[in-house]
Amino acid sequence: MKKFLAKRLGSGSLAVLFSIIFNFVIIRLAPGDPATLLVGKDNPNPEMIAMIREQYGLDKSMFEQLGAYFNQLFHLDLGYSYANSRDVWDMIVERLGPTLMIALTGTLIAVLIGTFIGVYAARKKGTFIDQAICSISYLFDSTPSFWLGLMLILLFSSILGLFPTSGMYNLRGNYTGFAHIMDVIQHMFLPVLTLVLLNIPYYFRIARSSVLQVMSEDFIMTLRATGMSEKKIFNKYVLRNAIIPTITVFGINLAYMVTGVSMIEITFAWPGMGRLMLDSITKRDYPVISGIYLVLSISVAIGMIIVDIVYATIDPRIRIEE
């Protein structure tokens, strides 16, 4: 186990290292220059551009810049945003919380509901209910997130007036304590609902197909032949085997969660990481982009290690080599 952990940590750090270099290089290869963007289009002053370049070290070669960046990281410093004149780390921490709030809540609810419906549909395979659920799931599966978000705003905010259209809390409210929490939950509702509706089909299909697959396995027939009741076979054998793909997919999805909600964040003006990332890309704010990718790649690496460990404990075929 220790050896496995060390091995995975090693390969994980290597992956993080490569992703830092890759992201660092690729964003600089993209057309566009932060200095010109900072100065503005109307009256570009060449001297000022050169000054900014020198100040941020953009005039040096890419190799030197990379070296400087690693030196910075070594001192646990993610750098300084060009566009916002703030510490990158502070900006990320500020945005990470709100993103995780809607991403985690939405994904968890979607996993639970999706899996539940999937198992139900698998049991009713071929019936009208099954076909109806499948059709609805395809409908939501092919819906763009921003469109669904807008439709929900139209319905719940404009027509019914139940929930606020955007933001994370009421700026004029000045609520504190419990009232503040309720206010945030009210603001969270629509983005989370959008995420849930879009993710349910995903988990629904995995649950449905893996339940059906396990039910068609030979060993289920064997259990029937030994005289076990259908209920026990289903609860004890089918479900436990069918849940493995859901866990895998959930683990992989954790990695994409932050980027996946960015469209929703923009639709609902939610102050999250996804929005920060897109803003920074348009402004060519290199330190912020690199910082975000660093945090993301570390979380992906950790997520994968956790999935591996969970996987090995539920499926003996994937044993961790001693």
Give the binding site for other proteins (CB under 8 A).
217-219, 221-229, 237, 240-241, 314-317
Q: Which is nearer to other proteins, 196 or 242 (CB)?
A: 242
The CA dihedral of 6, 10, 11, 16, to the nearest 10 degrees, is: 130
Closest distance to other proteins from the beta carbon of 223 (Å): 8
Nearer to other proteins among residue 7 and residue 236 (C-beta):
236
Q: Cα separations (Å) of 48 from 39, 51, 85, 285?
A: 7, 5, 17, 17
CB closer to other proteins, 54 vs 230: 230
* 266 within 8 A of 278, measured Cβ to Cβ: yes
State the minimum distance, in angstroms, from the CB of residue 237 to other proteins: 6
SS3 283: coil
Toward other proteins, which CB reaches closer, 172 or 317?
317
Contact of 275 with 265, CB cutoff 8 Å: yes
Q: How far is CA 151 from CA 113, 165, 261, in A?
A: 22, 11, 17
**Residue 28 beta carbon to other proteins: minimum distance, rounded to whole angstroms:** 49
Centroid of chain to Cα 319: 28
Structure tokens at 276: 């920060």
159: amino acid identity, one letter = I
Shortest Cβ distance from residue 291 to other proteins (Å)? 42
Name the minimum Å distance from CB 130 to other proteins: 15
CB 7 to other proteins: min, Å: 22
**Of residues 111 and 223, the one with the C-beta less far from other proteins:** 223
CA 322 centroid distance within chain: 33
- Residues 238 and 245: their CA atoms lie apart, in Å, by 13
Which is closer to other proteins, CB of 29 or CB of 225? 225
